[in-house]
Structure 1
């Protein structure tokens, strides 16, 4: 399996990222989707149609009750993922922080609802190291460059009693994975063990471009 051509990020992916999700896809809830590239990820659906409209609406007007059904879908998959783990070894849910003054409210709320649904711990052990450009108008390569070294861990894993737990990042939307991989790299450099990303939606891959016939 070929990893994306960004060795400064992809080179830090732990081996268990390539092993752990294999059993998850077979047990996923019907509405859930998952994948391995650029890291293991689990989502409630694709970022299109009604789900896209709902998430855009939630960013404008936060209504947790409209979010709960989506969180329940993700929780079903994650519950299976950690079914054989003792309570003390279940993942720490870490929302990816925003760099904007008016922060995106969805990642911390999703982490809060997942923690309540699964009875897993959550914590904010990440912060932005510097502002970045808005990602909307950037292509894939520029997104990865934009997020390079954009995060830092608030503490070393050995300094926190939760440091023995694996970490599951939480965000609202996964597009190229540049943000999530940069966040995971910062945690891994501080001794934490990122397992992947839980999110509300995965942006569909663009259709392959047809070559011009000359």
Structure 2
């Protein structure tokens, strides 16, 4: 009886569980991240999403339904374990790159800003760099259209003093901007402009979710 109890406790300790639903994971998983049931519930395509406009981007899925609700909860009360499980899946396309990418999180100008870009960046397993800072405050963009978002973010970023001229090793390595959601791309493009002007090799954006533009079916963007 005692042996069975000890074995049951040991199984609880060593059996991996899905960080989202806490159910045991199958012995042979299809890939990193949440369990199959959670992937289906969040409508995450097996190979994620990828596109090229307004800059190359990689995403887990569309910002809608259960994924949207999950990310809104994470913004208010972030769980490092949940974000790490999603970020591990997001890192897959770059895991076998000959040159390991650098990652830079979109910084917030607010003291209590969005915690997710930094948390995602730290969870990807790539070398994190912090050359970017806000040059000025910006408006909240929830109700702004595409053109107003571009104006709002124009010149909003700059490189920190001492980071304007990266050395040759840093210039060779691909750099990925990290954010939680891609909508029009105004923020990511403004950040990319500042980084490229300083000499960094910006390859695109990693984000957890992509907002579909009105009147456009982004399902053609799936890999």
TM range (shorter): 0.7 to 0.9
2:178 aligned counterpart, secondary structure: strand
Q: Residues 2-21 of structure 1 correspond to what in structure 2 (within 5 A)? A: none
2:209 aligned counterpart, secondary structure: strand
2:206 aligned counterpart, secondary structure: strand
Q: Distance in 1 between matches of 2:207 and 2:149?
A: 18
Structure-1 residue corresponding to 2:136:
130
1:30-62 deviations in whole A, cap 9, x for unaligned?
151110000000011110000000000001111
Find out whether 1:96 has 2:102 as its counterpart.
no
Find out whether 1:121 has 2:131 as its counterpart.
no
Unaligned runs of 5+ in 1: 1-28, 209-214
Find out whether 1:200 has 2:208 as its counterpart.
yes
Whether contact under 8 Å (1:91, 1:166) holds in the other structure is yes
2:141 aligned counterpart, secondary structure: coil
Structure-2 residue corresponding to 1:8:
none
Unaligned runs of 5+ in 2: 1-44, 217-223
Q: Residues 97-176 of structure 1 correspond to what in structure 2 (within 5 A)? A: 97-115=107-125, 120-154=126-160, 155-159=163-167, 162-176=170-184
Q: Distance in 2 between matches of 1:35 and 1:168?
A: 14
TM-score, structure 1 normalization: 0.75
Q: Distance in 1 between matches of 2:65 and 2:140?
A: 23
Find out whether 1:183 has 2:199 as its counterpart.
no
1:200 aligned counterpart, secondary structure: strand
Find out whether 1:54 has 2:70 as its counterpart.
yes
Whether contact under 8 Å (1:92, 1:168) holds in the other structure is yes
Find out whether 1:70 has 2:76 as its counterpart.
no
TM-score, structure 2 normalization: 0.72
The alpha carbon displacement at 1:160 in A equals 7.6
Whether contact under 8 Å (2:94, 2:101) holds in the other structure is no
User: Aligned-pair RMSD on alpha carbons?
Assistant: 1.6
The alpha carbon displacement at 1:159 in A equals 4.8
* Higher Rg of the two aligned structures: 2
Whether contact under 8 Å (1:33, 1:44) holds in the other structure is yes
The alpha carbon displacement at 1:99 in A equals 1.6
1:56 aligned counterpart, secondary structure: helix
The alpha carbon displacement at 1:162 in A equals 2.6
